Structure 1
Amino acid sequence: MTGRGTVERIFIAPEAEVAMREQDAVEAVAGCGLQGDRYWSELESGTFVGWDGDEERDAGFDLTLIEQEAIEALARESSIELAPGEHRRNIETRGVALNHLVGKRFRVGEVVCRGDRLCEPCSHLQRLTQDGVLGALTHRGGLRTDILKGGVIRPGDVVELLE
């Protein structure tokens, strides 16, 4: 994997715990998230919401990404095959080391993001999928980001480091 990759698939879910829906394109808005997603600041119906409208929104809830290579490794190494979007992340990438983007500014198509922290798997994800997911995705469960400059994200868009 390199510092430059591509968007392979896009998913959103309008509410907590409902199935992720694949999208052909999604509008990303700085400080708000992905339009129509459960963590969009106007909806805030995600499971891990820490924002009540009276204070500043928690960092790292605008957009989540996961490497397709991690999903493939999960199947290969642990015999756990997740259905499309079952990983609960918004963007699947290929060819970019997402862990290296923590604390960095990067571009997803025309959208500028800052990597906030790793998106480690949790017992909630394991409860929604199957036993073993939590351990098998540790340190490769993706990246939580903040959107700094909005725009539209589409499959095939470039993901690359700006700094």
Structure 2
Amino acid sequence: MAAPNPDSALAALLGKLPRAGTVRWIGVRHARGRAMRELDSVEAIAGRGLVGDRYASASGKRGVTLIQSEHLPVIAALSGHAEVAPALLRRNVVVSRLPLVALKGRRFRIGGVVLEGTGDCDPCARMEEALGPGGYNAMRGHGGLCARIVEGGHFAVGDSLQALEVVA
């Protein structure tokens, strides 16, 4: 979606968020096929990723992956589970109280880290293994957000997620 005219009514609506978000869970995975390791806090390296995560060794738009806690019960229901643990979905950060889709193309701060939402975090074929048959489709539209790390630092469970400026 192209950015709307900054003076338009749509731009004004897209710029309003109901409240700050809150970090509920953090996890990293040091190698492909390994289980996620839950953390209380993490260091983020600008232009890279989270210390201890396999994606920290490469640069790109997927330095951090985020998912909304409010989507976890939906994914569970759609995949036929009573609940779904965050580690099963292989995202780095679970956030509540803020619609992550509103952070696409926008910078935001978590603790001492500035990130930029780069796009949807679409599910992969591994969701069939993790959630069972239909797991991929259960996650479609609920996979979360990929972000690049603009300014490194630390953040922790309980930290606030604050939206910053829209990136042109």
Under a length normalisation based on structure 2, what TM-score does the superposition of the two structures give?
0.81
Unaligned runs of 5+ residues in structure 2 are: 1-16
If each structure's helix is expressed as a fraction of its own residues, which one has the higher value? 2
Report the alpha carbon displacement of residue 134 of structure 1 after superposing the two structures with TM: 1.2
Q: Which moved more, 1:1-10 or 1:32-41?
A: 1-10
Q: 1:155 aligns with which of 116, 138, 157?
A: 157
Report the alpha carbon displacement of residue 3 of structure 1 after superposing the two structures with TM: 4.7
Identical-residue share of aligned pairs (%) = 39
How far apart in 2 are the matches of 1:133 and 1:64? 18
Q: Report the structure number with the largest CA radius of gyration.
A: 2
The amino acid across from 1:136 in the alignment is A
CA pair 136-129 structure 1, distance change in 2 beyond 3 A: closer
How far apart in 2 are the matches of 1:125 and 1:10? 19
Unaligned runs of 5+ residues in structure 1 are: 45-56
Alpha carbon RMSD of aligned pairs, Å? Answer: 1.7
Q: Which moved more, 1:69-78 or 1:115-124?
A: 69-78
Would the aligned equivalents of 2:22 and 2:158 in 1 still touch at CA under 8 Å? yes
How far apart in 2 are the matches of 1:124 and 1:60? 20
Aligned residues: 148
Name the structure 1 match of 2:12: none
Name the structure 2 match of 1:65: 66
Name the structure 1 match of 2:99: 97
Q: In the alignment, does 2:1 pair up with 1:4?
A: no
Runs of 4+ in 1 over 4 A off after TM superposition: none
